[in-house]
């Protein structure tokens, strides 16, 4: 299992997306190297019927992101979305049922507290289960 590795700025971008989309859920893709180094984030529009409680990435956004990943030599490393009212997010039954990318790590941003909470999961749609996953944040901000 790979450990997904982000820069602090990339984490900030994911959290900013979640805050901008609130009270709706946001969603996006994370591209990178086969060993888990994140190189690019791809925001996608949430076109779910009820975006307050679920997400569905716009198909044209998914195709565009996947095309850019191929052009850059990246692969899909992870998927992210938000649970705007959650203080300690974990995958919902819908998240598990729709986890179609078994090799991806799934990140969920909870915005229910003053400080956002980002958690990572390995989800098996086939087995209807999930488990926490580890990730690392590099502190490489330029002061």
Residue 45 token pair: 């529009």
Residue 80 token pair: 């992210």
Q: Which of 25, 90, 115, 131 is catalytic?
A: 25
Contact criterion met (CB below 8 Å) for 138 and 8:
yes
Query: Does residue 73 come out as left (phi exceeding 0), alpha (psi in the -120 to 50 range) or beta?
Result: left
Asked if 125 is an active-site residue, the reply is: no
Contact criterion met (CB below 8 Å) for 49 and 15:
no
Of 131, 137, 113, 125, the C-alpha closest to 38 is 137
Query: Active-site residues: which are they?
Result: 25
């Amino acid at each position: 299992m790979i450990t997904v590795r982000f820069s602090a700025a990339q984490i900030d971008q994911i959290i900013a997306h979640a805050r901008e989309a609130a009270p709706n859920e946001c969603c996006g893709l994370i591209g990178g190297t086969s060993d888990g180094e994140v190189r690019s984030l791809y925001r996608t529009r949430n076109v779910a019927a009820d975006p307050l409680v679920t997400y569905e990435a716009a198909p044209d956004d998914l195709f565009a992101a996947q095309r850019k990943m191929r052009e850059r030599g990246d692969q899909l490393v992870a998927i992210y979305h938000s649970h705007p009212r959650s203080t300690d997010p974990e995958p919902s039954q819908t998240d598990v049922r729709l986890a179609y990318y078994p090799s991806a790590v799934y990140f969920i941003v909870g915005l229910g507290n003053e400080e956002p909470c980002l958690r990572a999961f390995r989800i098996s749609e086939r087995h209807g289960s999930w488990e926490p996953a580890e990730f690392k944040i590099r502190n490489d901000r330029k002061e």
